[in-house]
Amino acid sequence: MATATLKPAVAVAPVPVPLKAVVPWAVFGVLLFIVVLYFVGAEQGATALVSGHAVHEFVHDGRHLLGFPCH
């Protein structure tokens, strides 16, 4: 009967990611979070940027989930 043997994996050292590569993505993520938070939390209120109720109805359940009052 033949037996299978496993060779040990070669250890590969992790490559550090430079901070210059992370900063633009972090800034983008923060800006995206702020825009989404605005549309879920404040749009269709006193600071409305979009007329009508389309945005409000689109994010309505998200408002309740996050605890924002909307009606």
Read off the pLDDT of residues 2-47 as tens digits, 9 standing for 90 and up.
677 777 778 788 899 999 999 999 999 999 999 888 877 776 666 6
Q: Is the per-residue pLDDT at 66 higher than 70? A: yes
26-30, 54-58, 63-67: least confidently modelled range: 54-58
Give me the phi and psi of 61, to 5 degrees please: -70, -35
Asked if the structure places residue 37 within a domain, the reply is: no
**3-state class (DSSP) for residue 58:** helix
- Predicted TM-score of the model (pTM): 0.60
Asked if the structure places residue 34 within a domain, the reply is: no
CB 68 within 8 A of CB 40: yes
Tally of domains in the chain: 1
Range of the domain at 58: 42-71
Collect all residues with Cβ–Cβ distance below 8 Å to 40 and sequence separation of at least 6. Answer: 59, 62, 63, 66, 68
> In Å, how far are 12, 22, 31, 37 from 19, measured between CA atoms?
21, 5, 18, 26
Asked if the structure places residue 5 within a domain, the reply is: no
Asked if the structure places residue 10 within a domain, the reply is: no
